[in-house]
Structure 1
Amino acid sequence: MGAYLGAMHASRLALAHPAPRAVAAGTAILVAAACAPRATTGSAPLPPLRLAATADSATSTTVAPGVVHHRLWFARGPQAVHVLDVDRAACWTLAARKAGGAAVGRAGTLALVRGLADSGGVAVAGGVNADFFLFAPPGVPQGAHVQDGRVIAGPSARPALALDSAGAPWMGMLRTTGSVALPDTTLALDGWNRGSAAGVGVFDAAWGARTDSLPGRVFVAARPLASGGAVVTAVDSGAHAAIPADGIVLAAGARSPARARLAALQAGRDTVRVTHSLGPVSPRQAVGGLPVLLRGGAIDPQVDSAGNAGFRGPNPRTAVGVGANGRRLFLVTVDGRQAGYSLGTTLRETAELLRLLGATDGINLDGGGSTTVVVREAAGGFRIANQPSDSAGERLVANALVVTRGGCTSR
């Protein structure tokens, strides 16, 4: 980034960062849970934000003890950067919030943050927009969305940011594993609230009232039996199927070898037994993104190959970084497409920005007109702190990451 990688700053900033260790591409990033204790109160304060010293303009506001909102502006670029600097040791964590409470649905980031705050019983400091999403059907996340342990949208071929019950962050590829036991055979299950053209997936009521509509699928609806398993209630090959509120729908894709076997099941007679889980971790919260930007302090090579040239080029950005051995979370937005104020950053520049902030691991979230950061005001209430580039102002998005109180034990 021209603003903070210019010749006058580059040598000084480089000294602040040790040489990154190599990490194999495609590996998961376990940034806290395996080796760090559960966050507790009473920890030493985190060091100041190093990058602020190189900005042409920088202000910092304490939103709550343990959450600081930094506003940085770099004349070279130009770039306007907002950072929600979150200390997990002060009992703050991240919560995923889905618009509409189901796979389909869009809402503003401000509304999603306010909604969690208005639900009562939890302190909220702010948040950012999260995953990329479909416009038709509106608001379906392109990656995983897990909310309070409930899988609303399952994993896809995209990485995810996940948090466990203690709020410890993890980045990598989530996957669905499981099986479908039929009367005479057992099938592998490779999708949970996510369609699969070549495999078998399961949809439950967390997805919504109806499955998505991948052409050529066979749908099998089933309701649970008191004795275990589930009885088949309907077999259909239409565009989509209704999901029983107390049951499931199995979906075999048009290229799935199991398609004919599911189509042969008889409603009211045959039973199925389904087991499924997420791996390699069991997230309490998760949102998808693309691509991973940092792994163990090294910029991931995907920053130069993900998507097309326009996607990789200068754009408004939203990203999450993790530093201080999992203790420090950086929710970062960069405004863009606004000449004279902020042009945005490339994927590589976004990765470098996270690294200069002090992150060792990071992931890119939805950007462009979706980029929005919300902060709590001193007098109460919430406001949009950045300048979204969408022509309508704040864009309606699929989901948000909300900074909330939790995942901490007191001494």
Structure 2
Amino acid sequence: MGTATCRYGRLRTALAALLACGTLAGTALVGASSASGAQRAKEIAPGVEYRDFDLRAAHGVAHAHLVSVDLNNKHVRIGLLRPGAVAARGRVSQLADVQGALAGVNGDFFHITETQHPGVAATGSAVGPEIADGRVLKAAVPHGQRFGPALPPGTTTEDVLGVGTNRTARLDRLTLSGSLSTPEGMWRLGGLNQYALPVGSIGAFTSDWGGVSRARATCGTDSSRSAPCSTDTYEVTVRGGQVVATAGKPGSGTIPAGTTVLVGRETGAQVLRKLYRGEPVRVEHHLVAASGAAYSFAIGGFPVLRHGTPPAGLDNTVATVRTAVGIAGDGHRLLLLALDGASEYRSGLTVAELASALRSLGASEGFNLDGGGSSTLVVRQPGKRAVSVLNHPSGGTERAVANGIGVFPAS
């Protein structure tokens, strides 16, 4: 496989330049396949373009759908596609239409199945952190509790793709910083609206979680998703700065605005059992970016390209339909890419080939999202009121997902 790198300033010239550059780390453009056969991008809205093309890879030809977003254009912005609650799922087209998006792709890996713990249902919530319109919705689950393919070396469930309040995109890491303070002392929070909590910790659940049972948060361990649920649990409800209710196990149901439900397991449960109704408590939580940046949007996944170079250890054996995001133009252009799941293209790309494809399109940073049956790319064509699904989901129909990346007209 070749190792040369092709870098291009503008997406309009990237694909044509690929033909001259040739095969790049196992992937090569073999021509656009739109109805007209043209390789020019189609403008969807100011600052937003769409194109499709083929990529030749080791396992066959993959067909790619690409939305390019110019973050320097003040008429467009990036936001989180979400189903209204952290513990919920929706189809990308549905989420896009409800929120008024111009385009979008599916997002993070999520809690899609639950077979190891009888009586406990899948929550549908994402693995990694979420920030929507500057508001923190959730933090990352422990590494051993994630869904999706094995993470590349050096990556964690805290890795995110984010767009800052300065409209610049970057890869970063978001860590939960939170505490529970009582007259008896202060304890660190181990989770925020997560389907899995670290062993021995206390997690906070807010109205953003939704009405799904919180019991799954006490199942498994930090290293094993299938480990039994904890038998040492406790729950405390806080409103107006004081304890208003307690329970011997995690509950369910909608959490009112201004209310926080604390769920403890093992040592965390023992701490919560010491709290009584009416006792004053203070709960604080926020996400801390490794870079120190402030984000208006963030979503989980894992990096596949950093500073133009794929990190060591990327898988180059398992090929499948994939969704990914590239960052180009010093953080001022996003490339939303989803492969087609039609039968003739279902061989897809390996993670290493995906990184090379993003690099060949001009990206300096690359971020892998959920793939397979989740891979979906939607666009609202000019003059239309609803989006259209432009790739073919490999399952035959759209899969309901936890979140996605939406391209919106700026208000």
Q: Which category of TM-score, normalised to the shorter sequence, fits these structures?
A: 0.7 to 0.9
**Residues 1:278 and 2:287 are matched in the alignment:** yes
Residue 232 (structure 1) aligned with residue 256 (structure 2): no
The residue matched to 2:314 in structure 1 has which SS?
helix
- In 1, the alpha carbon distance for the partners of 2:5 and 2:10 equals 20
Unaligned runs of 5+ in 1: 19-44, 118-123, 225-229
Aligned equivalent of 2:269: 259
- Once the two structures are superposed, residues 142-171 of structure 1 have per-residue CA deviations (whole angstroms, 9 ceiling, x without a partner) of 112222223333233412212222332232
Per the TM alignment, residue 50 of structure 1 is displaced from its structure 2 partner at its CA by: 1.4
Post-superposition offset of 1:250 = 1.5
CA distance in 1, matches of 2:175, 2:333: 26
CA 1:147/1:347 → structure 2, altered by over 3 Å: closer, same or farther?
same
Question: Which residue of the partner structure matches residue 326 of structure 1?
Answer: 331
- Per the TM alignment, residue 244 of structure 1 is displaced from its structure 2 partner at its CA by 4.0
Matched, 1:110 2:93: yes
Q: Deviations over 1:318-348 (max 9, x none)?
A: 0011011011110011124x44334210011
The alpha-carbon distance between structure 1 residues 126 and 188, as it changes in their structure 2 partners (threshold 3 A), is same
- CA deviation after TM superposition for structure 1 residue 105, in Å: 1.8
**Does structure 1 residue 96 correspond to structure 2 residue 84?**
no
* Distance change (3 Å), C-alpha of 1:316 and 1:244: same
Letter of the 2:55 partner, please give it.
F
RMSD: 2.4
In structure 2, distance between residues paired with 1:47 and 1:180: 48
- Contact 1:293–1:299 (Cα < 8 Å) also in 2: yes
Q: d(CA) in 1 for partners of 2:256 and 2:56?
A: 56
Q: 1:67 to 1:244 in 2, by over 3 A?
A: closer
Counterpart for residue 312 of structure 2:
301
**Alignment correspondent of 1:41:** none
- Distance in 1 (alpha carbons) for counterparts of 2:274 and 2:256: 20
Q: 1:276 to 1:220 in 2, by over 3 A?
A: same
Aligned equivalents of 1:282, 1:155: Cα separation in 2: 18
Give the TM-score normalised by the residue count of structure 2.
0.78
Pairing of 1:11-410 with structure 2 (within 5 A): 14=4, 16-17=6-7, 46=10, 48-52=12-16, 53-54=18-19, 55-58=29-32, 59=39, 60-74=41-55, 77-91=60-74, 92-99=76-83, 101-117=84-100, 124-135=101-112, 136-156=121-141, 157=143, 158=157, 159-194=159-194, 195-196=196-197, 197-209=199-211, 212-213=214-215, 214=218, 215=230, 216-224=232-240, 230-241=241-252, 243-254=255-266, 257-268=267-278, 270-280=279-289, 281-289=293-301, 291-304=302-315, 313-336=318-341, 338-381=342-385, 382-391=387-396, 393-406=397-410
Secondary structure in 1 matching 2:94: helix
- Looking at structure 2, the residues matched to 65 and 369 of structure 1 have their Cα atoms a distance apart, in angstroms, of 30
Per-residue CA deviations over 1:91-127 (Å, capped at 9, x if unaligned) read 233110211x01222211111111111xxxxxx4211
Secondary structure in structure 2 of the residue aligned to 1:358: coil
- Structure 1 length-normalised TM: 0.78
Partners of 2:11 and 2:378 in 1: how far apart? Answer: 24
Matched-pair contact (CA < 8 Å) for 2:203–2:263: yes
Percent identity (aligned): 31
**For the Cα contact (< 8 Å) 1:150–1:206, is it kept in 2?**
no
Structure 1 segments, 4+ long, off by >4 Å, are none
Question: 1:397 and 1:379 mapped to 2: Cα distance?
Answer: 27
**Residue type at the aligned position of 1:394:** E
Instruction: Give, in whole Å, the separation in 2 of the partners of 1:138 and 1:49.
Output: 43
